[in-house]
Structure formats: structure tokens, C-alpha cells
Structure 1
Amino acid sequence: MSMMEFGKRAVAAAAFAIALAAVVPGAFVSVAEAAGPAAPATATKAAATKADVGEILFEGEHYLKAAPGTVLKYSFERSVRDPDKVKPGFKDVVELTLEPGEAATKRNVIVTLFKGPQHRAAGPFDNVAFNPTAILMLELHLGDFAKLLGGNPRYFKNAIRTGMREAASAEPVKVKLGTGEVDGTQFTVRPYVNDPQKARMAAFSETVYRFTVSPEVPGVIYEIRITTPAPDGGAPLVEEVTRYVEN
């Protein structure tokens, strides 16, 4: 299945909706619905000043340091506090094989989404400039999240889009690469803290999404960490960590 090109999309939330639709048929949310009512210019500027995480993740040029022929590899680990109540934890890998696209900054991306019992079909993503790892891992997470809470995946996708657009924070971080460190940025989104269904979601309303990126990392995305903290302050109820692995 093909992923439409995002380079000319002006609204990151709309890009996220279209991207998710390309991964899972039937998940499509229209551009108009995803973008919502037009925001005043001042509000739009303020949101962009906070953190333009959607634009970075879904509209950026991520392959400036990842030539055709490169295989981007990510480790994945899901850990859970009580496997009797939620989907058990597991470890695996995600691999993206990059083939030449129609422009120097674009790639055709062949996806291997896990190699063990959890393997599932995904992609390919044709002629894209961005790294689809965030799309893949969010779609995986939201499928499990919706099953656990008995909700509609679209509801949670909308909440994340809104959080990315209006309430994301950003802070500079150091990222380990090679024998040293490089500069990166960590974006944090807490999409459910003010959700109307917060009481129904209970502890899962505190789920935090962290995206760490650096232009020095091939594929730009260094880590995606999704954490549901425990109310008692102990080990997280659920945590999923996807991290770039150097070849």
C-alpha cells in the first residue's frame, strides 16, 4: 500500500491522520476533520512556538544521513507491571530498508515490523521523505490501547493529534551516538490529562508520549517512549520503548 506525500501539507495534524490511514485501511480521517476549525493566526503561531512535533515527525526530511541501501534498525521493548491484566511484554526489532525514491531526499521504505511471534504486515511507504517509525509504533500502541480501554482508536488518535498541535512541550537533550553524544530534542505529549473521558480511563489517562529526535541520527528519530505511570509511583503499568540501533 502507498503512503501519500506529505511535503506540501501545511497542517501536521492532517498529515498524521492521512499517515495513519495509509497503515491501516479503514482508519481514514478526513483532512478537514483532522485539522478541525481554522484557528486564529495568533493561536496557530503560539502552538507552533510551543513545539511543532507533528511537522518534525511527519513532514520532515529524515534521510539526509540515510542513503539508499541503508537498513534502519530499532529495538522495541514492551514491559508491563501486571501481565494478567494487560497484553504481556515482549522484545523485538523493527527494520526499515531504504530504496531510492523519486528525489534525492525521498525513499521507498520496506518495513519489517517485528521478526518473532508478534510480526505483522506493514507498509511499504512509497516515495516519502519522512521516517514512518512514529506512525508504525503509534498505530501499534493505539490498537492495543483501544482494546484495553474499550474505546474507538479514532478517539485516541484525535486526542494525540490535538496534543501534538496544542500542548506538546520540547526540551534539548543529548543523544548517544557512536562513541559520543549529539544534540537532540525531546518532545513530550500528554494527550489525555484533560480528556472528558479521563475518569473512565483511570490511570491510563496519565499516559505520556515522548519523541526524541536529532538531525545527526540516520532517520532522525532516535527514540519513542510511551509510558503509563503507576499511581503508586512504582514501575510503570505499561511502557513501550522503540530506540534506534546503530549498525
Structure 2
Amino acid sequence: MKDDAGRKPRAAWLAVPALLALAGAAHAAAATPDAATLLFEEPQLDKTAVNQVLTYAYHRKSADDKLYGASFEDTIRLTLDKGETAQTRTVQVQLFSGAHRRAAGPFENMSGNPVLSLFLEHHIGVLAETYQANPRYFKTAIRTALRDKAEVKPADIPFEGRTLPGWRVSIQPFSDDPNKARLNGLDTLRYEFLVARDLPGEIARIEVSAPGKNSPLLDEGISYEATPD
């Protein structure tokens, strides 16, 4: 699924100048990294190997398929081939399987992990279809939240029987949305991104959830599988 403009998946998320402005000297000087730089500008694939496969378990649990989109579980697999430099990879993608499978990639000469943008694009696509809305509306809200309202805290990431130092990025992009009454409770959606520099591909987990009375209205996410079945 190459982007219509032929851009790499992270490019669509970094196209906003306000996000790009977060990088540079301010990032280098800060003890706590800013969210956009941490998620979209780190060389997340530089410690991976050619022919390595990064596997992510995907889940989507919906309280009401008609209101929030269908529930299912599946897998995302990224197969890494060599790029033009030792720090980049060409990424082959298997985005889900069977009836859920979606075309994606390949993405050439990637320094960042495309699973983050692949997940967000799919998530936003379901929201847009469910609410008959422009996907750009949801994407802009998430971008803005990462720029202006993100909470970044240290986190311990379990990996192969040990703990890696990492970061947890949290946002609630729709909490102040002027149209939140039309979101059927999804204005409470909370996004959490767990990343660790020493984890292959750096993305440990993404969790998106909205609380309900007895169970979440929506619970969606991916988690890195160190030893997949």
C-alpha cells in the first residue's frame, strides 16, 4: 500500500511543519524527549539485522461493531531487507491475514519503524469509515495532541526476561473536540505509545482505548512479540 504521493509512511505524519520544528537543539537539550521526535524521528531500525522479522500482535475489541467498527485479532509482520546504508532497511509488510489482509509496502530505505504509521493509518481509516468523516480530521487531532498535549514519562519495557529503559507517550486528542458529542463516547480515547531504544524496531506497544460502563467501548493496539508462535 504505497501512499498515493509515493511517500514513505512516516512522511505523512511528519509533513506538518509544526511537528518538524520540535526536532533539533531543543530535543538534544531536554532530559525528556518531545513526543513527535521520539516516535517519528529516531533511527528505530538502525539496530536491526537484514532478514530479521519484526512481529506484532494486533487486537481490536469493540463494544458495538456498528458504532465503533468490527472486532478482530491478527498479526503484522515486517521483513527487513538491506537499504542503501547500514542504518536503513527496505521493509516488506504483511498487514494482517485472510479476509483482513491489507496491501502495504514495500517501503525502501527506512530508518524509522513503519509499524507506527501503519497502525495509525488503519485505526484512522476505521474511524473515518465508521463516522463517515474525513480521515484528515482525525489525523490532525492526533498530530496536534502529540505536538501540544503529549505526556512523556519514563517506562520499564519487559523484553526476554529483562527490563529495558524506555518511554511512555500518552495523549487524549478528542477530549476537547468541538464535535465530541458525535463520537459516541470515543472522545475519551486515550493513546499510549511504549518505546525502548534497545528493543528491535523500538516500538514495544501501542494501546488505544475508550472506557465504557462495564468494559471498554474500544480497545485496540499492537504489541511486539519477541518470540512469536
Structure-1-length-normalised TM-score: 0.80
State the distance in 2 between where 1:244 and 1:37 align: 26
Q: Does 1:65 align with 2:65?
A: no
Offset at 1:219? 0.2
RMSD over aligned Cα atoms: 2.4
Letter of the 1:242 partner, please give it: I
**Aligned counterparts, 1:24-43, within 5 A:** 31=15, 34-35=16-17
Q: CA deviation at 1:199?
A: 2.1
Distance 1:244 1:69 in 2: 17
What is the aligned counterpart of 1:197 among 175, 179, 192? 179
Measure the CA separation in 2 of the matches of 1:237 and 1:38: 33
Please say if residues 174 and 184 of structure 1, whose CA atoms lie closer than 8 Å, have aligned partners that are also in contact. yes
- Equivalence for 2:139: 157
What is the CA–CA distance in structure 2 between the aligned matches of 1:203 and 1:85, rounded to whole Å? 10
What is the total number of aligned residue pairs between the two structures?
217
Q: Per the alignment, do residues 229 and 69 of structure 1 end up closer, same or farther by CA in structure 2, a change over 3 Å counting?
A: same
**What percentage of residue pairs aligned between the two structures are identical?**
35
Decide whether aligned partners of structure 1 residues 202 and 91 sit closer, same or farther in structure 2, where only a CA change above 3 A counts: closer
Distance 1:131 1:38 in 2: 17
Distance in 1 between residues matched to 2:206 and 2:20, nearest whole Å: 30
Call closer, same or farther: CA 1:36–1:241 in 2, change over 3 Å.
closer
- Amino acid paired to 1:162: T
Contact kept in structure 1, 2:9 and 2:117, CA below 8 Å: no
The gaps in structure 2 that reach 5 residues or longer are none
Q: Which runs of 5+ in 1 are unaligned?
A: 7-14, 19-30
1:112 aligns with 2:112: no
Q: Deviations over 1:140-168 (max 9, x none)?
A: 00011112222210011011110111110
Partner of 1:127: 109
Give CA deviations for 1:107-151 in whole Å, capped at 9, x if unaligned.
000100012220010111110100011100101000111122222
Among candidates 78, 81, 93, match of residue 60 of structure 2: 78
Question: Is the Cα–Cα contact under 8 Å of residues 47 and 87 in structure 2 kept in the other structure?
Answer: no
- SS for the counterpart of 1:136 is helix
Output the TM-score relative to the length of structure 2: 0.86
Please state how far the C-alpha of 1:36 moved relative to its aligned partner: 5.7
Structure 1 runs (4+) deviating above 3 angstroms are 1-6, 15-18, 36-39, 48-51, 83-86
CA–CA distance in structure 2, aligned partners of residues 95 and 77 of structure 1 = 14
